[in-house]
Amino acid sequence: MLIDKNLKIAITAALKAGEAILKIYNKDFSVEYKEDESPLTEADLVSNKIIVTLLQETNLPIISEENKQLPYSIRKEWKQCWIVDPIDGTKEFIKKNGEFTVNIALVENGITKLGVIYVPVTKELYYTNESKSKAYKTVFADNIEDINGVLFKEEDILKPNQEVNGIVKVVGSRSHMNEDTLNYVEGLKHNGNDIEIVSKGSSLKFCLVAEGQADVYPRFAPTMEWDTAAGQAICEAVGLKVLNQTTNEPMKYNRENLLNNYFLVTK
């Protein structure tokens, strides 16, 4: 299958960024702290540069965690834009537990059009097709020159869990299992469900639900648009909903405030 130009550029950017990230991951690296006290490494910046350079070929504007954000008066005129997290899960990167990702999404009029999540350590690539009617997981070998031949395989199609037989698998963040989330879990228990908590860093939490390893992902803690856009695209492509808990509507993007409301990934 011939792949859409934008999807191909996004996948190539994620793979190339992943390769550069791994080189830094496998040596000693220093950690700095941003104004909001979140960590930043050389790998975040190297990854950002690679992705931004490649995405610029599309002539579409880019919102990236590691770029200076343009004012909303300019951004609101954009019909389409890329939303990028060059490393999601910088804390996991620093802990060296492998659970960090590269997130790239294309958004049109606030709605995700395609999404790519790449896991550099395992070389797993989660992505939607261009119509967002399916999502796939492909494990990459080292040759990243020819991506056409390995994508869109029938056996790589992601399927969420169809049935919940008494046990609801709930995705919990390693770092953000707070009172609101615990209250939500208690609510599920009151409805007679047994609960199992599954946990992963970064946007891999969306992937757990998209591939049926978990049933729901309540994120009742702060995230930014770049943490969720690609994951939302992938979840929606397999028929899941990513609901803003303030409006109960699907989350929209390129908003004035890039800080997301609490949200729930569910059937």
Ligand X SMILES: Nc1ncnc2c1ncn2[C@@H]1O[C@H](COP(=O)(O)O)[C@@H](OP(=O)(O)O)[C@H]1O
- Judged by the rule CB under 6 A, the positions of this chain that interact with ligand X are 38, 65, 85, 88-90, 173, 175-176, 201-202, 222-224, 227, 259
Cβ atoms of residues 130 and 178 within 8 Å: no
Q: Which is nearer to Mg ion, 91 or 252 (CB)?
A: 91
**Nearest C-alpha neighbor of 147 from the set 121, 127, 119, 122:** 127
Q: Which is nearer to Mg ion, 85 or 225 (CB)?
A: 85
Q: Which residues are annotated as a binding site for Mg(2+)?
A: 65, 85, 87-88, 227
* Residue from 14, 24, 25, 65 binding Mg ion (CB under 5 A): 65
Cβ atoms of residues 77 and 256 within 8 Å: no
- When CB distances to ligand X are compared, the closest residue is 222
Residue 109 touches which of ligand X, Mg ion, none (CB < 5 to 8 A by kind)?
Answer: none
Neighbouring C-alpha atoms within 13 Å toward the C-beta of 199: 10
Q: Which is nearer to Mg ion, 83 or 125 (CB)?
A: 83
Q: Which is nearer to ligand X, 76 or 176 (CB)?
A: 176
Strands (E), the chain: 31-33, 39-41, 62-64, 80-88, 101-108, 111-119, 124-128, 135-139, 167-172, 194-199, 217-219, 241-244, 263-266
* Residue from 85, 211, 215, 225 binding Mg ion (CB under 5 A): 85
Q: Which residues bind Mg ion (CB under 5 A)?
A: 65, 85, 87
